[in-house]
Amino acid sequence: MTERYDIVVIGAGHNGLTAATLLAEKGRRVLVVEARDTVGGLAAGAEFHPGYRHAGILDDTRLVRPWVVDELGLDRFGLRRREPTDLLVPETGGQGLVLATTVKGSEGLSANDAESLAGYQAFLDRIAPGFAGLLDRPPIDLVDTGAGDLLRLGLAGLRLRRLGRHDLMEFLRVVPMPVADWLGEWFASDLLKAALAGPAIYSTYSGPRSPGTNANLLFSAARSEDPVAGGAPALIGAIERAARARGVEIRTGVAVTRLVIEAGRVRGIELAGGECVATGSVAASCDPRQLFLDLLPPAALALSLEAELLSFRTRGTAAKVHLALSGYPQFSSRPGRLFEQVRTGEALDELERAFDAAKYRRFSERPVLDIRFPSIETPELAPDGHHVASILVSFAPYELAGGWTESAREGLYRAVLAVLDEYAPGIERLIVGREVLTPADLAERYRLSQGHLFHGEHALDQLLIRPTPQCSKYATPLAGLYLCGSGSHPGGGLTCAPGALAAQAIRSNDM
């Protein structure tokens, strides 16, 4: 082996860079290796049409954890937060809704729904500290419980108990519910219920009537903060600068082909081209299936762990469409106004029917869209006066019947365009370029098992124990090998929490 590092991190996405930065202490030599030619992973911006750039496949920065920002010192490297913007929920033949951070700032709500929304948001604010206590700390081992686990379990229970009897009982009742049922208890408006249900089902293999989807809604609401100014690329730029300032070495365009294992312990990595790098510890931010099933030498993986990994569900159901636009489209619900985020879906039944298609290996002919216009905040993403639309398309399954042929890809694009034209008539005339990334494309470009953006589905069983019982606390059965990506606790999205919590575990175990 040509060189030796104290720690090697596989993957230069937001979690890999976070882990590497926090591990580069007291002179430790840390190397990050990235197969792609750029850092950032799913949060990296890229040019998709000459002169037009998107702001990352994952572009919602509201979940970035404040305590991680503080530990990394990202304010010293240019990270800033900004005020959240309004969300447009368009409606066929109507004015739709505009949801702001406050009920008073929202538009289109009935008096009853406005009152209910205030109570709903107040309840979410009350339970947020209890949820954050579970999501911002290492996972608790409920089976092999040590003193630290018992303490954290007790503290978590104390935080929940402080909710008061009514809120505590309500918390325990609603977590496993279908999101449709819970929202139905609060609101009368179909449009409002569908809009609020969106985050509970994006990138999942479930519809709003699936049990446990309410947990996703609560997890998202409990972690929501002000977004990062400049979006995901600004977040990645700040973390990269923090990493390099601490001496982290980052090598892009080099893929790991195999881990070197001797006597049950990691001894190094092998790169494409045959170069070997020696190390005593490896932190993998790639998805767990890729790590264990593709990068380990034969017979290094115990059959029991292999069985657990094969049961870890990674069914990708989200596609991404990027549009280069000669101008901002006019949404008929609010003509003349610019919104950075637009969310489609007029009723819970519409969302459920869209999921029905995915169950039968078809993409929805009326897909649910979460649309962002990052060029409003960052005009340099497009030529002067032009815009970029970045669209998360829900319920386009990785395992599409007949496969993702060019015809299927074009069919998905046309389905997306039909929904857009319904709410912004004539939008096709503004399109000067496009990029359609199916789950199969995402799997190939970003090395995602089955194209899943969160490295594994968010469901109750896969949030409490993630990814498997043997690897739920970042350490793996192989000495010196750790998980630090979205496939580990507390899950996917731009939180940076898995990388930061994994760094704590590695420092505790190996340093």
Q: What is the average pLDDT score of the chain?
A: 93
The answer to whether 19 touches 484, Cβ cutoff 8 Å, is yes
The answer to whether 347 touches 191, Cβ cutoff 8 Å, is yes
Cα separation, 191 vs 88, whole angstroms: 11
Give the pLDDT score at 151.
44
What residue ranges in 27-157 does DSSP mark as E strands?
Answer: 30-34, 46-49, 52-54, 87-91, 94-99
Structure tokens that stand for 83 in this block: 């005020």
Give the pLDDT score at 412.
98
3-class secondary structure, 165: helix
Instruction: Find all residues with CB under 8 Å of 380, minimum gap 6, and list them.
Output: none
Give the pLDDT score at 155.
46
Cα separation, 325 vs 429, whole angstroms: 9
Taking residue 296's Cβ as centre, other Cβ atoms within 10 Å add up to: 18
Cα separation, 118 vs 183, whole angstroms: 13
3-class secondary structure, 174: helix
Give the pLDDT score at 421.
97
Top-tier CATH class for 3-40+64-77+235-312+467-510: alpha beta
Low-confidence residues in the chain, pLDDT < 70: 1-2, 141-162, 510-511
Residue 49, burial from CB neighbour count under 10 angstroms (0-12, 13-18, 19+): middle
Cα separation, 298 vs 310, whole angstroms: 16
Cα separation, 330 vs 216, whole angstroms: 32
Cα separation, 366 vs 351, whole angstroms: 9
Taking residue 186's Cβ as centre, other Cβ atoms within 10 Å add up to: 15
Task: Tell me the sheet residues that pair with 434.
Answer: 323
- The DSSP annotation for 233-298 comes to HHHHHHHHHHHHHTT-EEEES--EEEEEEETTEEEEEEETTS-EEEEEEEEE-S-HHHHHHHSSPT
Cα separation, 284 vs 258, whole angstroms: 12
Which helix (H) or strand (E) segment is 343 a member of? strand 341-343
Residue 405, burial from CB neighbour count under 10 angstroms (0-12, 13-18, 19+): exposed
Which helix (H) or strand (E) segment is 434 a member of? strand 431-437
Residue 128, burial from CB neighbour count under 10 angstroms (0-12, 13-18, 19+): middle
Which helix (H) or strand (E) segment is 201 a member of? helix 190-201
Cα separation, 218 vs 113, whole angstroms: 19
Residue with token string 């107040």: 122
Residue 352, phi then psi, degrees to nearest 5? -65, -40
Structure tokens that stand for 276 in this block: 């070997």
Cα separation, 258 vs 22, whole angstroms: 25
- What does pTM read for this prediction? 0.94
Residue with token string 């197969």: 35
Question: Hey, where are the domains in the chain?
Answer: 3-40+64-77+235-312+467-510, 108-223
Give the pLDDT score at 160.
60
Instruction: Find all residues with CB under 8 Å of 105, minimum gap 6, and list them.
Output: 86
Residue 58, burial from CB neighbour count under 10 angstroms (0-12, 13-18, 19+): buried
Q: What is the CA radius of gyration of the chain?
A: 22
Phi-psi region of 218 (alpha: psi -120 to 50; beta: other; left: phi over 0): alpha
> pLDDT tens, 171-201?
889 999 999 999 999 999 999 999 999 999 9
Give the pLDDT score at 416.
98
